[in-house]
Chain A
């Protein structure tokens, strides 16, 4: 926990944190993740029928929860992706995307463990079966989230105080909620 705090929370003070949270690296990762989640989410919001079949294929949720999950998940993907793209509430939206990616990892991992051969449902219009390559892809997305979460400053950002903690340590001490949010 301390390591995590040093790595992510105290980015500008520790050398390691400063490297991980460099605004340029954070920007590249942020835009890439935002693009991925918008690309994944928008078609699913537009055509939930296909995604419904994919969700049901995982056989993880009770029948009654499947349609609600099918409708809610893509919208959360789109909202978090859009906030990340615009640079509003960067850290909270990155945290949401981290949670989603972790959930995908668990779902895909459980499908592999149970030996069921199903459509991933990751991107509409693409047929990719659940397998280890998807585990690697999701793990890579989690790694890409680290610089976004660690950064104290963000370039090309609509809200300078975003990121959940203000843009500097000083502001974090004064207003833990973070500047203008």
Chain B
């Protein structure tokens, strides 16, 4: 840049450069700090609204117990149930009426064999929004969700979604052993 009499510069190009760029960078640091403050305030706002809102969601997702299978004696604790409980329901026509078994695996896995009377609502259906078939499931039923194995996670995620869609927490259970535990126990398998 040529020297211009109208342009006030302190002395020396180097100093002028620092003088003009320093504040700009300080501005950007201040901007970033304020942006971080906005994010922090937004986070606090979101968590606060969620805590008081009747439509707030649980922040702690269900987690699978590390000691699978769960200790005996309490089949209905912590949202999980054991094979014995599912087998008892399957053997009791009266209990079957009050219970809905949801197979959260993919449709082709369901067709290859599933627990009798289970209906198939794949996890992908839950991820795409509220599954239409939930309209046929009354909220006072005991809902048991299962998938492929204790680590597949689909049953836990589906159970979480059911709770979010208004099914009472105590009514939604996960059969952690899933279909493999059912087969290993020599229980009846349906192919319809």
Closest to B34 in A: A92
- Given A67-B58, A68-B59, also A53-B42 (CB < 8 A): no
Residues of B participating in the A interface, judged by any CB pair closer than 8 Å: 19-21, 23-28, 30-32, 34-35, 37-39, 41-43, 45-47, 49-50, 53, 55-61, 63, 126-129, 153, 157, 161, 164-165
Distance A47 CA – B54 CA, assembled complex (angstroms): 10
Q: Are A176 and B27 in contact (CB under 8 A)?
A: yes
A154 located at the interface, meaning its Cβ lies under 8 Å from any Cβ of chain B in the complex: no
Distance A91 CA – B43 CA, assembled complex (angstroms): 19
With a cutoff of 8 Å between Cβ atoms, the chain A residues found around residue B28 in the complex are 9, 164
Q: Are A75 and B45 in contact (CB under 8 A)?
A: yes
Residues of A participating in the B interface, judged by any CB pair closer than 8 Å: 5, 9-10, 45-50, 52-53, 56-57, 63-64, 66-68, 70-80, 83, 89, 91-93, 95-96, 99, 118-119, 164-165, 172-173, 176-178, 181
Contact of B21 among A5, A56, A99 (CB under 8 A): A5
With a cutoff of 8 Å between Cβ atoms, the chain B residues found around residue A96 in the complex are 35, 38-39, 42
Q: A5-B24, A176-B26 are in contact. List 13 more A-B contacts (CB 8 A).
A: A9-B27, A45-B46, A48-B57, A49-B165, A63-B61, A63-B153, A68-B47, A71-B50, A76-B39, A92-B31, A92-B35, A95-B31, A118-B128
Q: Are A93 and B35 in contact (CB under 8 A)?
A: yes
Q: How far in angstroms is the closest Cβ of chain A from B125?
A: 10
Q: Are A78 and B42 in contact (CB under 8 A)?
A: yes
Q: Are B31 and A79 in contact (CB under 8 A)?
A: no
Distance A93 CA – B60 CA, assembled complex (angstroms): 30
User: What are 20 pairs between A and B in contact, CB < 8 Å?
Assistant: A9-B27, A46-B55, A49-B165, A50-B129, A56-B157, A57-B128, A67-B57, A67-B58, A68-B47, A71-B47, A76-B39, A76-B46, A78-B42, A79-B45, A92-B37, A99-B35, A118-B128, A164-B31, A165-B24, A165-B31
